Chain A
Amino acid sequence: MKLFNNVLVVTSLFLSASAFAHVGLGSSMPANGAMLSQAPTTLELTFTAPVRLVKLTMQDDKQQSVPLTLPSSATSQAAFSFALPALNAANYTVNWMIMGDDGHKMKGNMSFMLHDSGMNTRSAPPMTMEHETSEHTAHQ
């Protein structure tokens, strides 16, 4: 019975919804949830440990992608910097997928808002400010 219970608890872990602690995004520039009146010229992502960036996309709220060039994956690094083109006023979401030095996959997103500098008073739609590390898959 004890064995059965142990198996049950292990199985329930598969379905558990709480967050995992793994390498993730430590900070970013612009910060997650930032409301900016001046368009940033660079996007900086700093992870909690060296990682290889597998995928990175940046989109505005109309699903228009902002082109970003991924660095070579030859070595892992903690901080990444990307030059941004001239941005229009919009909500931007950055989706990242990384592989930590432990071989684990992690992904998550961060977002920021760029105001139209002349229209700072307009009511912007509420934006999600979650910074989630939603997935983590196995290594060997």
Chain B
Amino acid sequence: MILSVFEISVLISKWVIYLSVAAVIGGTLMQYLIKGQPNLGISVTKYTGLGAVLGLIAVSINYFAQVGAFAENGLMGIFDAQMHAFLWPTQVGQTVLWRLIGFGLMLVASGLLLHKNRYIKTFSAVLAIISCLLIAVTFTFIGHSTEVGLLAQGLILIHVLIIGSWIGAFYPLWKLCSTDENIVIKNVMDTFGRLGIVIVILVLLSGMGMVWMLFDSPTELFSSNYGIAVTIKLCLVAIILFIAAWHKLVLVPKLTIENPSLAKQKLQKSIGLEALIAVLILATTAVLSSVLGPMSLG
């Protein structure tokens, strides 16, 4: 299989969409966990703002690349009026529309969050939550889960919200490790660690639930390309879970015991590695959800 320019564009833009969704959802969650840290708050606001801008760009590129892929008329195919008229009223167009609204709202929310007025700040927080929900809901409009049924769509909604909260929190947590107050780092990491248990349970339940529904037999995990890609994703998830446990049980307790600055450095490095694996997980997911398909839908 050789992928066309459009298919590669769709794949890469989808990956960027996933990263943006994570930044937006995880950043919004972290705003609450780092309350009382104004400097860090500004960094996280810029992070969600950047996520929103990247999201707007990636969603647009993704849509035009899809139009081009359907039009099969060379590069000018992205402007094919007939194909735009065909795709826009479908779930493809609806997804694009609601994602643009979602990322747009997040951009506004990020701007308002920098405002000093307390009421405007509260308004922006509400706007950010609405934006996260809107973006997460769009994942139920489209994709393999739509072919399976309502339960799968519910699972994907939970999966996106939870994965976004987790993966998107890595940058703010990494940034947090640059602050001088080890006790603050420990408190935030402890809270995140407690949330982490719920996150891990929900991620695994929703993920395994979807695997259960999309696969007819466990052997497909090794015999089909889709299955192999899912297996790779599961291996990466296992690694990231191991790192998360390492943080919770070893590195975070060390923050206030022995040589705190060394412990902080180690934690920061480890969060960086965790983020790198998360980026790979999202890349695998982009491949899974686009160029490959489960046997059960065949």
Which A residues contact B (CB, under 8 angstroms)? 3, 6-7, 9-10, 13-18, 20-24, 48-49, 52, 54, 73-74, 97, 99-105, 136-140
Interface contact B293-A22, CB-CB below 8 Å: yes
Given contacts A21-B295, A136-B291, A140-B66, 19 further A-B contacts (CB under 8 A): A6-B232, A9-B232, A16-B1, A21-B297, A23-B297, A48-B298, A49-B297, A52-B86, A99-B87, A100-B297, A101-B91, A101-B146, A103-B91, A103-B95, A137-B4, A138-B69, A138-B291, A139-B290, A140-B14
Binary per-residue interface labels of chain B (172-185) against chain A in the complex, 1 for a CB within 8 Å, 0 otherwise: 00000000000000
Query: In whole Å, how far is A130's beta carbon from the nearest beta carbon of chain B?
Result: 16
Which B residues contact A (CB, under 8 angstroms)? 1-4, 6-7, 10-11, 14, 17, 59, 62-63, 66, 69-70, 72, 86-87, 89-92, 95-96, 99, 138, 141-147, 224-226, 228-229, 232, 235-236, 276-277, 280, 283-284, 286-287, 289-298
Contact A138/B292 with A13-B228, A74-B89, A102-B147 known, Cβ cut-off 8 Å = no
Interface contact B92-A21, CB-CB below 8 Å: no
Interface contact B225-A20, CB-CB below 8 Å: yes
* A16→B3 CA distance, assembly (Å): 11
**Which chain B residues border A136 with CB–CB below 8 Å?**
291, 293
State the main secondary structure of chain B at its contact with A. Answer: helix
**Which chain A residues border B91 with CB–CB below 8 Å?**
101, 103
Query: In whole Å, how far is A12's beta carbon from the nearest beta carbon of chain B?
Result: 10
Interface contact A14-B290, CB-CB below 8 Å: no
Interface contact A6-B90, CB-CB below 8 Å: no
Closest to B139 in A: A140
**Which chain A residues border B14 with CB–CB below 8 Å?**
138, 140
* A82→B236 CA distance, assembly (Å): 48
Contact A14/B1 with A21-B295, A21-B297 known, Cβ cut-off 8 Å = yes
Query: In whole Å, how far is A94's beta carbon from the nearest beta carbon of chain B?
Result: 17
Query: In this complex, which of B7, B10, B69, B90 has the most chain A Cβ atoms within 10 angstroms of its Cβ?
Result: B90
Interface contact B147-A6, CB-CB below 8 Å: no
Interface contact B147-A137, CB-CB below 8 Å: no
Q: Which of B2, B69, B276, B277 contacts A105 (CB 8 A)?
A: B69
**Which chain A residues border B224 with CB–CB below 8 Å?**
21
Closest to B93 in A: A103
* A39→B91 CA distance, assembly (Å): 38
**Which chain A residues border B225 with CB–CB below 8 Å?**
13, 16, 18, 20
* A103→B147 CA distance, assembly (Å): 10
* A139→B63 CA distance, assembly (Å): 9
* A21→B293 CA distance, assembly (Å): 5
**Which chain A residues border B291 with CB–CB below 8 Å?**
13-14, 20, 136-138
Interface contact A21-B226, CB-CB below 8 Å: yes
**Which chain B residues border A103 with CB–CB below 8 Å?**
66, 90-92, 95, 141-143, 146
Interface contact A21-B287, CB-CB below 8 Å: no
Query: In whole Å, how far is A2's beta carbon from the nearest beta carbon of chain B?
Result: 8
Q: Which of A21, A101, A139 contacts B66 (CB 8 A)?
A: A139
Query: In whole Å, how far is B34's beta carbon from the nearest beta carbon of chain A?
Result: 29
Interface contact A105-B70, CB-CB below 8 Å: yes
Query: In whole Å, how far is A17's beta carbon from the nearest beta carbon of chain B?
Result: 6
* A14→B145 CA distance, assembly (Å): 22
Interface contact A140-B96, CB-CB below 8 Å: yes
Closest to B220 in A: A21
* A23→B148 CA distance, assembly (Å): 12
* A89→B276 CA distance, assembly (Å): 61
* A49→B294 CA distance, assembly (Å): 14
